[in-house]
Each structure stands twice: as C-alpha cells, then as structure tokens.
Structure 1
Amino acid sequence: MKLWEFLSRESDVPLSRVMAIAAVSGLANALLLAVVNQGAHTVSSGSTTQLFILFGVVISLYIVTQRYILRVASIEVERIIAKLRVKLSQKVRQADLGPLELLGRSRIYASMQTETLTISQSTAPMIIACQGSILIVFSMLYMLILSRVAFFLTVAIVALGVLVHFKSRNELIAEMHRSTAKENEFFDVLTDLLEGFKEMKLNQARGRDLFAELSQIADDVAETKTKTGVRYADYYIFTQVLFYLLIGAMVFVLPGLSAVYSDQVTQLTAAILFIIGPITGVVGAFPVFRMAEHSIENIARLEAELDQARVGNNDTYAGNGEPPPVMTTIELNTVRFSYTDRDGNPLFTVGPLDLTLKQGEVLLIVGGNGSGKSTLLKLLTSLYYPSSGEIRVNGLDARTVGYRTYRELFSAIFADYHLFERLYGVSGVDDKRVVELLRLMGLERKTTWRDGRFANQELSTGQRKRLALIISLLEDKQIYVFDEWAADQDPSFREFFYETLLPEMKRGGKTVVAATHDERYFHVGDRVLKMEAGRFIYDSDTTKIGPR
C-alpha cells in the first residue's frame, strides 16, 4: 500500500509501534463484546460483579490506547505534510526556469494544497480502519469458537464483498486520474481569470468565452467526481446489504444448517452487529485510501518532474553560492537556446550569439517584440542554460565557476518581475538609505519602510517598478539587468533613469545591461546591440549617436 509506504518513510514515529497499540485497542474492543455477551448470559444466574470490573478495565484500556493512536496520528501527519511541502518548495527552488515554466503553476499549487490535504485527511481513517480490521479478526475468532458454520458463512460473504471491491478498483483509479487532470485545467483557467482580469473586463466577449470554458471544465470535474462518488455509493450499499443478509442468515438459515442453541444465535447476531460498524469503517475507508494513494502518486510524479527539471542543472558543478569573483569580462561564445514544447520539439531558437561584456559598461539591447531580448537577458544571467555554446566569466567557463556563484553577480528587474513583501537576502539595510531612495523615486508619500518591509505595495505599475529598482539597488550587485524598466515611467522618471541613474551607476563601477525601445537615450549606452529573430544584427559604438 503506497499510503503505508509513504507514512513509514516519512514518519519519525515507527508505524509498527502505532499498529501494535492499535492491535491492543482492537483486542480491547473485541473483549468488550465477549464481556458483554458473557454478562448477558449470566445476568439471570448469578453475580456479575467480576465481569463488571473486567468491563471497566477493558474499556479503560480501550480509551488509553485509542487516545494515543489518534493523538499521534494527528500530530505526526501534520508534521509529515509540513515536511513534504518544504521538500517540494525546495525542489521548486532548485529547478531550472525553463522546465518550471513548462510544468505550470496549477500542478504545483494542487500538490501543495489539494493533494497534501487529501493525505492529511486519510491518516486518521487509515488508523481507525486498521484498528477495525484487528477488531474484526478477533471477533471472527470469537464467532469460530461459537460456531464453525457461522464463521465460514461469514467468511464467504465478506470474501464476496472483497471480490467486488477489487473488480471495480482499476476503473475507480482511472476516473480519479481524469478528475485530477480536469482540476489542473480548472486552476489554469482560473489563473487566467485572475491575472487577466483587466483585459477580461475590457472585452466582454473574452470574458464570456473564458467563463464558458471555466464553467465547462467545472462541470466536467463535477461529472467525473460524481461518477466516482456514485460508484462508491453503490459499493457501500452493496456491502451494507451483505451485512444484513449475513444477519438474516444467522437467524433464519444457520439453525437449519447446524444444531445451535438459541443463546448462541443471539451471541452470533450480537457479534455481527458489533462488527458492522468496524466493517463499515473499513469499507468506507477504501475510497479515502484510494484518493490518498492517488494524491501520493501525483506528488511522486511532480517530484520526479522537478528532479528532471534539474537534469543538466549546472548548479551541481563547482560553486555553491560563494561570493562571486570581481567581474572583468563576460563572454557569450556562439550561444544558442531553443524554446521547446512539452514533447521537446523546438519552437523558437535564439542564437548563435557572440557577446563580450566589460566591467563598468552600459550596454543597451534594442529590437522588436519577440526578437529575443528577454531570452538573451535570461541566458546572460544563467536563468536559461545554453543549448550549445558557452558563457565565460573572466576567461573561465561559467560551469567551472559554478552557476550559483555566477548568478550572484547580477541583480535583475525582468518584465514579469515579482515584488516580495520583505527584503529577503538583503542584510544590514541602512534605514536612512532606504528613506533616501524612496524620496529619490518619488515614493515617500506612497509607502514607508517599516519592520524590514515596505508598508504599502498597492501602487501603480510605474511606481511598483520604481520600488523594485530601490530593492535592486539595495542588493548592491556588480551587474544590473533591466528589461524595459523605463517603459511604464512618466517622462521625468524616464529621463532620470537614463540621464542620471545609469551614469551614476557607471561611475560607481557597476555594469548595466538594459533592454529598451527608447531611441532618444541611445547615447547613454557605451554600446547598442540590436536583435532580430533571435540574432544580433547591429553592434555599434554609440558615442556617435546623439540625443534625438
């Protein structure tokens, strides 16, 4: 059982100990049946004081063991889920950008939330079902002592129920897989709804189409889950009918098959009634087990794909996040990179690219949309790895230096940048410096610096980019990468960026690579490179290019 293997592997508490205590709890439960039956048998013939004391001891044992099992299960499963989420987050953190983009957010969110919740909710039923199974075994042994015919009759009917269960198992698993795939589709469209809200509000037809698709997927998920639920309901009803048939067989059929006394029939009937609850619990736990095992399979597949997303990941080479060397030159030698679909077929190729970036240089990258500028920046920062060619820093292959170490050279603001709530990774922040930068960027009345974070990030697009620039400057890296940073700025801040900030950064020894469309400010750069269809088509000394 995958759930058992998973819990055994991840738990710090030996499951054998938990199961041993569950066995004691099950035995105590079975002893309650024997004590109650014996007490009912002797109540009219003598004192039942000893049986009453034994009843108290047995029920106390049951309470202690049951409490231990449920407490340990609750505490341990939440610890396991927390550890699993941290492990998945670590794998996401270590993955390469390209494969992670193909993987998509919906599967990661589903595994972190839905799948882990399913596993969490399955643990208590699993413990109770195991305990119920032990109770059933002891109760069956008790029935064997009372009547062999009753025992084998019960075994035959229970075996029939188990056979029906395994017959429908594969169909149920297939329906669960279809349901999960549809739920992932739903989350993808929901992401479109949330992230594309502005565009949707401006185009009613787009909003209607998107909502129609979302509704259709939601209906498909509901239909698939309903089919699975109906199958389980039918299975549950079938098992209940089997139990009642079993009781009927004990009362009406067994006396004709075996010479049993009326008190034995009463005891056998009581035993069956006593185990109906545990058997119902075991049967009812099967859907939970299946869903939990399905979730474990989904998480295992995600883990495998995240591990695969590190195949060829040169973070494992020399360099483990050590301080980077002082950069003098970075070279791209016949570097190529191809975007591929999920099947590995190339969609768009950038390169071959040859570039030398010198320390203290301001390099401007120009070109139309889709020309490859953003891809170049991701290659330069080693967020994408070259399909062929090499990147060299100070004459050394970046793989030898170590890509983790190499990346520490850069601070970047990409077009799809993310603003973190806290300044992660930036220590020893000078509060006065932050206040000065807020004033410099015209944000002193929009947000404040308090307790290691900016109090307000509900800003306009241009203001958020200025806040991102403040954070980037506080990182104090050797190389700064800007992807169309000035595109959303008003004229005054655009001029400040090119005419004041970039020259100051150059004087401070910083190297800047900026993708831009602002031809008016080409003279600020030491060089301008133009890209088209993934290649450089222009490389010029811009000292000859004046303001336009």
Structure 2
Amino acid sequence: MQKNYIYKLIIIFLLSAIYSGIGILILFFINRYIMTLQSPDYMVLIYFMLILILFFSYTLLMRVLVANINNNIIYELRTKFVLRILNSDLQTIIINKKSKILASLSKDITNISNGFMRLSDTLQGSLFVFISFFYFFYLSKELFVFIFIWFCLITIGAFYFIKKAHLEYKKARENEDILYNDYEVLLEGFKELSLNEKRANSFLNTFYQNANEQKLTSSKAEIYGNLSGNYLNNMMLGGIGMIIYLALGLGISDLKTAATMAISMMFLRAPFMMSIFSIPSVVLAIISIKKVKELKLISFDKIDFSKSSQAIKWSEIELRDISFSYGENLVLDRVNLKIKKGESIFLIGKNGSGKSTLFLILCGLLRADSGEIYIDNEILDEKNIKEFQNSISVVFSDFYLFKEILNSNEKSINYWIEILKMKDKVKVILKNEKLHFSSINLSLGQRKRVALIQALLEKRDFLMMDEFAADQDPEFRKYFYNEILNLLKEKGISIFAISHDDKYFDKSDKVYKIKNGKLELIKQATWR
C-alpha cells in the first residue's frame, strides 16, 4: 500500500481514537454524576447536554473528514486504474481479455471503494470496544473477565460466519468474470445469435447456468453475512442480560455498577455491530485487490499523460531481426524491414500470416520477443516510444471511431471531409465547446473514411492503415489509390498499408509479402 494511503489511515485511526475517548467520557459522566444523583442538579444536566453536543459535533466533523478522505482514495483508485490500463501494452490487454478488465473496472473498483469506505467503520468500532475494556476493568474486574470472554465468543462466532461468507464471496467474484464474458459474447455476437436460434438457445443455456451459479453463491454469501449480524445482535443483548444476572443473582457486583456496564454494553452495541458488519466489505475489497493485481497492469506512473510528448523527427525506420510468438506459435521470424521518409509501402499476406502483428509492432503497441526497431540508428525503447508514436497516425482494421474532433481548425476538417467524399454524410458541430462529427451512424466503409479524417487531422508524417480500402465501394477504392495516395505523398506523408488490392500495387513504392513468419520484398514486375 502506498505511503499516502497509510497516512490517511493513520488520520482515520486518530480521529476514531478521539471519538472513542469522547464516548467513554459520556459513559464515565453517566456513572459518576447522573447515577449518583440524590436530588435535581441542573448543572449536571447542562454539562451532560454540552458533552452530548460536543460528541455530536465531533462525530459530524469526523464523518465529513473521513468521507473526504475515503472519497479521495476512491477517486485516486479509479483514476490510477484507468492510467494503468492506458500505460499497459496491448499484449497485456489481450492476455487479460476485455471481460476481465471490464469486471475489474465496474465490480472490483466498486468493491475496493466500498471496502475503504467501511474500513473507517471497522477501525472506529474496534477501537471503541478496545478502549471500553479499560473502562470495564476500572468498574469491575470480575465483570470485566466475563465481558472479555463474552466478546471473544461473539468475535469467534461472527468470524466463523464471516469466513463462510468470504468463501462464497470469492466464488461469486470468480463467477463475475464468467458472466462478463457472457455479456461480451451477447453484445459482440448479437447478429449471429439473432439469426441462429440453435446458437442462441445454446448461449442462453450456458448463461442461465452461469447466472444461477452466481445467484447461489451470492445468496449464500449474503445469508452467512446476515447470520453473523443476527448472531452478534443476540449475543450483545444476551451479554446485557448476563451482566444484570451476575450482579443481582450471584452478587458479583452492585446494581449501580451492573447498570453502568449494561448501559455501556448497549452503547457499544452499535459501534461493535458496525465494525463487524463492515468486515465483509473489507474482505470483498481484499479479494478485489487481488483480482486487480492478477491483471498485472503496468504501474500507473510510467507515463504522465498530462505532459504532451513531442513528435520524433525521422528519416528512416528499420526493423532488425524482429521475432514474435503467441505462446508456442511463432508468428514473425527474424523480420527485417526499412522504411524511408516519404515512401509508400504495401504489405500483403494470407490471413494469420502475421501482417497485423507486424503492423502492431511497427506502431509500438506490441513488443517483439527479440530484435530491435531503429529510428535513424537509435533504438526505439521506453525513452522515446511516445515521441515515435506521436509521429504516427493509424487506422486499424478494428478501429474505434471517436465523435470528438481534437483539431479545432474547421477549415482543415472540412477540407478532408471534402477530399474523402463525406460532405453529404457528416457535418462539424459544436457540442460542449468542442467540435464533433454530427453522426458516426454510417456504413463500415464510411466510418473508416471518418477514422481516416481523424488520423489526417493529427497532421503527422507517417500514416499506417490496416485494410482501409477493403470495405470501400469500387469507385471510391479507385479514387483512393489513384488520387488520395498521391495527394498524401505530395504532402510528405509516409504510408505503410496492409492491402490485398493487387490491382493498385503499382501505386506504392514497395510491396512486401509475409509468409510463414518471413518477410520478403516483391518486385512489381515479378508480382504481375
């Protein structure tokens, strides 16, 4: 745990200690002054009311301070988790799967947040009970022994139920990952499920089974949690009765002391129950922290996104002996490639040949198992990766289209809308003082054009495209290769594109083919 969090927990501990001290002061005042009254004494009443006002005011102040501390911790947890995702490489995201990360973003962060919120209750209640034991010892050593044993029995019993609840909560959390995976299948495979009743029925049967398992484990966890609460409540009430019985029935103590200790037990009932009831939330938080750690996301402080890196200036990019494997499957085998400034390069290959993997390595999203990338004879590493990526604009085959336009120059935006023949499809609108595209509810080919507009508005000198023209109509495809590529070259933009349009290979400077993890340069005349 970071030092910052430890300091905040120390503050909560000290606040709870003062709270407990004032609570004991109230009990002491009742025992010393109110229970010894022989006649009306209004000053005692006034002092008692003042102590109560002090207790109420301090409790209110403490709640405000603790709420601020807790919510600051929650804010930091959420923002740092998002930063850790942004800092992680693509391979980490692929390994963890989207469903697991979504489950952590929604469920685990909530659990950790609730755990921190309830941790102050645990500290406050536990500390109050602990300090109260000294007061019980001061009142009656004999009754103190009984109370101490009684509280031990309460704690043992409550923790038995909490342990059972913990095991069920852990199972329930495992089932959350499975359910999130089902949700992902439902949304991403919606069209296929809608058109195939047999597949939809199979999916539903699996989902019902997983959802039922989640229901059973969650129900058991809640039942055990409630049992711990009911057990604790009954034992606290039983303890009050036992104190009176021991004092009056067995003569262990006088009525005044017994009454004071009984009142103290009643006073302790709320904070002690609050402390015990908060433990399941803390337990859930611990489980969720372990889940987040299992993701093995890179530390949040790796990159400071508030500071914009400068784009690197380059004249040549060289890949030397790049190899990459997914598990035992070798995808790239000692690939060598040179890209000079201003060149347009096409990459071809069969499905699964490693095209997209090479593409992702080149733009710095995947890290090669061996080999190096050189930018003008300087190795590309953690020190300059962001500068290099700031010189690249990319249109992925599985791109995500943002409505917000980062470039605020409307003239430039409208220019590219016109060039890419999207004038009749999208407009530039102002929303929340930011420029947006009027709509992204378009065909796949048109959405790709908008994604290319976004990339070109970044005004970077290296454009990478993965199968951009694959979803374009024949007329626009011809226009793209004959007109737009020439325009981009005139503007000094280097191009690296995955393409299968052999009809237009003459529009590139070089064509490379990847096969069995090997990369080779294809002569244009040979290709034809």
Relative to the length of structure 2, the TM-score reads: 0.89
Q: Deviations over 1:118-156 (max 9, x none)?
A: 233334433334333344345444443443222211111
Alignment of 1:228 with 2:198, yes or no, is no
State the partner residue of 2:456.
473
> Aligned letter for 2:472?
Q
How much does 1:473 deviate? 1.2
* Separation in 2, partners of 1:334, 1:19: 57
Q: Which residue does the alignment assign to 2:398? A: 416
Given that 2:165 and 2:220 are in contact with CA atoms closer than 8 Å, whether structure 1 keeps it comes out as no
The alignment status of 1:23 with 2:5, answered yes or no, reads: no
1:220 CA displacement: 1.8
Aligned mates of 2:10, 2:346 — CA distance in 1: 65
Aligned length: 521
Partner of 1:190: 183
Alignment counterpart, residue 287 of structure 1, candidates 280, 285, 296: 280
1:434 to 399, 408, 413: 413
- Distance (whole Å) between structure 2 residues aligned to residue 533 and residue 518 of structure 1: 21
Q: Secondary structure at the match of 1:271?
A: helix
Q: Indicate yes or no: 2:311 matched with 1:323.
A: yes
Counterpart position of 2:112? 119
Structure 1 residue aligned with 2:353, among 366, 371, 381? 371
Taking structure 1 as reference, are residues 279 and 508 closer, same or farther at Cα in structure 2, changes over 3 Å only?
Answer: closer
Question: Would you say the 8 A contact 1:74–1:124 is kept in 2?
Answer: yes
Q: 1:343 matched to which residue of 2?
A: none
Matches within 5 A, 1:331-350: 331-340=318-327, 346-350=328-332
Q: Does 1:10 align with 2:1?
A: no
Given the superposition, is the C-alpha separation of residues 239 and 507 from structure 1 closer, same or farther in structure 2, using an over 3 Å criterion?
same
Amino-acid identity (%): 25
- Whole-Å separation in 2 of the counterparts to 1:73 and 1:264: 35
| Distance (Å, rounded) in 1 between the aligned partners of 2:375 and 2:47 | 81
CA displacement 1:390-412 (0-9 Å, x = unmatched): 32333443349833333333211
Contact 2:142 2:252 in 1 (8 A): no
Query: Which range moved further: 199-208 or 134-143?
Result: 134-143
Deviation at 1:437, TM superposition (A): 1.7
Instruction: Give the 3-state SS of the residue equivalent to 2:297 in structure 1.
Output: helix
CA deviation digits over 1:25-72, x for unaligned, max 9?
A: 2233333344445666356x3023122111111111111211111111
SS at match of 1:158: helix
Q: Distance in 2 between matches of 1:87 and 1:308?
A: 9
Match of residue 242 from structure 1: 235
In structure 2, distance between residues paired with 1:387 and 1:478: 28
- 1:513–1:15 distance in 2 versus 1, CA, 3 Å: closer
Distance 1:348 1:143, change over 3 A: same
Deviations 1:135-183, CA, capped at 9 Å, x for gaps: 4345444443443222211111111222334556655444433322221
Give me the whole-angstrom Cα distance separating, in 1, the residues matched to 2:195 and 2:442.
Answer: 21
1:353, distance to aligned residue in structure 2 (A): 1.8
Report which stretch shifted further, 31-40 or 187-196: 31-40
Match of 1:149 among 142, 151, 157: 142
Give the superposition deviation at 1:374: 0.9
Change (3 A) 1:260 1:487: same
The separation in 2 between residues aligned to 1:245 and 1:446, in whole angstroms, is 75
Question: Any stretches of 5+ residues in structure 1 without a counterpart?
Answer: 341-345
Gaps of 5+ in 2: none
5 Å matches for 1:162-311?
A: 162-166=155-159, 172-302=165-295, 305-307=296-298
- Quick check: 2:353–2:514 contact (8 Å CA) kept in 1? yes
CA contact (8 A) 1:22 1:65 kept: no
Give, as a single letter, the amino acid of the residue that structure 2 aligns with 1:306: L
Q: Tell me, what secondary structure is at the counterpart of 1:513?
A: strand
CA distance in 1, matches of 2:159, 2:226: 15
Amino acid at match of 1:192: V
**TM-superposition CA deviations, 1:319-348 (whole Å, max 9, x none):** x94431232x322233211112xxxxx234
C-alpha distance in structure 1 between counterparts of 2:62 and 2:116, whole Å: 11
Displacement after TM superposition at 1:544 (Å) = 7.2
* Cα deviation code 1:246-270 (max 9, x no counterpart): 2332233443433533444433333
Structure 1 stretch displaced more, 68-77 or 245-254: 245-254
TM-score by length of 1: 0.86
After superposition, the C-alpha distances for 1:14-34 in whole angstroms (9 at most, x for unaligned) are 544443333332233333344
Q: Aligned-pair distance for 1:465? A: 0.3
| SS, match of residue 463 in structure 2 | strand
> By how many angstroms is 1:184 displaced?
1.5
Q: Distance in 1 between matches of 2:300 and 2:129?
A: 47
* CA contact 1:149–1:258 (8 Å) conserved in 2: no
Pair 1:369–1:55, CA change in 2 (3 A): same
Query: How far, CA to CA, are the matches of 2:10 and 2:87 in structure 1?
Result: 35
Asked whether the 8 Å contact 2:176–2:214 carries over to 1, the reply is yes
Q: CA deviation at 1:477?
A: 1.9
Alpha-carbon separation, structure 2, partners of 1:385 and 1:124: 39
| CA 1:279–1:541: 2 relative to 1, 3 Å | same
Q: Counterpart of 1:364 in 2: which secondary structure?
A: strand
Give the Cα–Cα distance (whole angstroms) in 2 for the partners of residues 100 and 458 of structure 1: 27
